[in-house]
C-alpha cells in the first residue's frame, strides 16, 4: 500500500506540493489552497503527536469499523470527506510559508520512520499503528493535492 514512509513517494508528494499556485483551481471543499496546505501540515503534526485533538463522539461510535476501509487499501479518500474540527484552518495563510512548513514536516515524518508516530489516538479512527498513520498521511495529502488538480 502507498504510504508516507516511502521516500520516493514522499518526494513525489513534495513535487506536487511545489506545483501548487495561489490560483490553483479548487475541485471541491471550502479552504483556499494556502489554508489547505496549512491543514495538511496540521494533519502531520497530529500524526507526529505535536497536536492532540480529543476523540470525537462519532469516532468513538463508528471509527473502528470505518478505519479498515480507509487505511486498509489504496483507494483515495472521497471528496468532501469530513475533517477533524481542530484541523480546519481559518484566516489567511501564506502559501509559500505553508509549503515550506509542510515539506519540512513530511521530511521529519519520513526520516523518523515509525518511531516518530504518535501513540495518541486519532480523533475519529482511534489507535493507529505507525503503518496505518503512514497510509493515512499519504492518503490525506493525496486527497488535498487532487482537490487542487495536482
Whether 82 is covered by a domain: the verdict is yes
Q: Is residue 1 part of a domain?
A: no
Q: Is residue 100 a part of any domain in this protein?
A: yes
How does pLDDT run across 10-37, given as a tens digit for each residue? 999 999 999 999 999 999 999 999 999 9
What pLDDT, on a 0 to 100 scale, did the predictor assign at position 80? 85
Cα–Cα distance between 97 and 104 in angstroms, integer? 11
Q: Is residue 135 part of a domain?
A: yes
Owning domain of residue 139: 7-20+30-147
Q: List the grid coordinates of 119.
A: 501513540
For residue 34, is it within any domain? yes
The angle at the Cα of 50, spanning 136 to 98, to the nearest 5 degrees, equals 75
Distances (CA, A) of 92 to 3, 22, 42, 97, 145: 30, 12, 15, 12, 19
How many structural domains does the chain have? 1
Prediction pTM value? 0.96
Other CB atoms within 10 Å distance of the CB of residue 52: 12
List, for residues 95-111, the tens digit of each pLDDT value. 999 999 999 999 999 99
The mean predicted confidence, pLDDT, of the chain is: 96
Three-state DSSP state, 130: helix
What's the pLDDT score for residue 20?
A: 98
Confidence of residue 85 (pLDDT cuts 50, 70, 90): confident
Predicted local confidence at residue 82, as pLDDT: 85
C-alpha cell at 55: 476523540
Contact 41, 101 (CB under 8 A): yes
Greatest C-alpha distance within the chain: 39
Cα–Cα distance between 142 and 145 in angstroms, integer? Answer: 5
Q: Is residue 70 part of a domain?
A: yes
Q: Is the pLDDT of residue 81 over 90?
A: no
Q: Residue for cell digits 476501509?
A: 69
Amino acid at each position: 500500500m502507498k504510504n508516507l514512509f516511502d521516500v520516493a513517494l514522499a518526494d513525489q508528494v513534495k513535487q506536487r506540493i511545489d506545483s501548487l499556485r495561489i490560483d490553483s483551481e479548487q475541485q471541491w471543499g471550502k479552504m483556499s489552497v494556502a489554508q489547505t496546505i496549512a491543514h495538511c501540515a496540521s494533519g502531520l503534526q497530529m500524526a507526529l503527536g505535536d497536536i492532540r485533538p480529543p476523540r470525537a463522539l462519532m469516532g468513538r461510535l463508528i471509527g473502528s469499523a470505518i478505519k479498515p476501509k480507509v487505511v486498509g487499501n489504496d483507494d483515495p479518500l472521497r471528496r468532501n470527506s469530513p475533517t477533524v474540527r481542530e484541523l480546519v484552518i481559518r484566516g489567511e495563510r501564506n502559501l509559500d510559508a505553508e509549503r515550506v512548513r509542510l515539506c519540512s514536516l513530511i521530511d521529519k515524518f519520513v526520516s523518523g520512520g515509525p518511531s516518530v508516530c504518535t501513540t495518541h489516538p486519532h480523533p475519529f479512527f482511534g489507535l493507529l499503528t505507525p503503518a496505518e498513520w503512514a497510509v493515512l498521511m499519504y492518503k490525506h495529502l493525496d486527497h488535498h493535492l487532487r482537490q487542487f488538480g495536482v
